A = this chain, B = another copy of it.
């Protein structure tokens, strides 16, 4: 940690910072410069109260050299985290994993139909919401627990694993019971209470990046889950808030190599929410794999024109087939491969 003094800081103010550092139990190392003095704090154990230093008289700013996250960092654990699901799908290894499905479970016919097609195309994880966080209180909010049971039936029939979102304590407990991976959505990325409960569930967690979250914020939220003893966290880039309304969000694919260098956790991309436009999903899905994503989350609907939500960003099933071909080739170009399709349960 480095405390940078104002250029007009007095010797007394500089000494005040030195004294405070020592009072806090650290060593202070002043570095006088032509323009200003900076004071290094030596022995930072990650518990320094920076607010206290920042509020001292004469201080311009406090610069953090150590990172605030621990267990999620590459420095804590060098080798990548690999998560293995019950159906054999591995996330975080050399395989590129595809999670696909409709925005929401709407009916048994809908979810069974699409699940069969997706499994046949090679997807190994089925995504679909039973609890939907909607901007409007008057919009369709999902089928709830009956939706979870339909997902379980689809898993039974196709062998695909299930990922679905939890939005509060009650739904989290239900999702933990029925699904293979619990999704925490972008709007709940800093719902710390929910993160802790997710940590205690013992299940793999898919944590989506919030729309105003830096990569550091995302890692700090993952740290909440690891701090509860649950290391099975998959991060997901799904677009941040941008100023151009041509797309719903701004998909920040550079976050993928940035996360890879800072953390051992796997990271996937969701180009469906990341762009909000069907015609942009395929190129951006390809780009995510080329950038090094460990997987994709893609919305596919058997009849997008009649979807109850997010129809405009859902692929048609035959578009999905094409996509699987293209990303298979791209994965090979960078020394990876698509995850092996699941053997159907019957």
Name A residues whose Cβ lies closer than 8 Å to a Cβ of B. Answer: 2, 4, 7-8, 29, 31-36, 38, 40, 42-47, 49, 51-52, 54-56, 63, 65-70, 75, 133-138, 167-169, 171, 187-188, 190-194, 196, 210-212, 214-217, 220-221, 223-224, 227, 240-247, 250-258, 261, 274-275, 278-280, 283-284, 286-292, 304-312, 314, 326, 329-330, 332-334
Q: Give the residues in chain B near A291, CB-CB below 8 Å.
A: 283-284, 286-287
Q: Give the residues in chain B near A250, CB-CB below 8 Å.
A: 240, 242, 250, 252, 254
Q: Give the residues in chain B near A68, CB-CB below 8 Å.
A: 135-136
Contact indicator A75/B330 (Cβ below 8 Å): no
Number of copies of this chain that the complex holds: 4
Among B244, B255, B288, contact of A252 (Cβ-Cβ < 8 Å): B244
- CB of A328 to closest CB in B, whole Å: 9
Q: Which residue of B lies closest to A193 (CB)?
A: B168
- CB of A332 to closest CB in B, whole Å: 8
Contact indicator A253/B256 (Cβ below 8 Å): no
Among B43, B49, B212, contact of A308 (Cβ-Cβ < 8 Å): B49
- CB of A312 to closest CB in B, whole Å: 4
Contact indicator B51/A309 (Cβ below 8 Å): yes
Contact indicator A44/B34 (Cβ below 8 Å): yes
A-B CB proximity, top 5 nearest: A212-B212, A168-B193, A329-B333, A187-B190, A290-B290
**Sample of 20 further A-B pairs with CB below 8 A, known A55-B304, A137-B196, A169-B169:** A2-B2, A29-B29, A33-B44, A33-B65, A34-B66, A35-B67, A47-B138, A52-B306, A55-B307, A137-B224, A168-B193, A168-B194, A214-B245, A215-B244, A240-B242, A241-B243, A254-B284, A257-B283, A286-B334, A287-B291
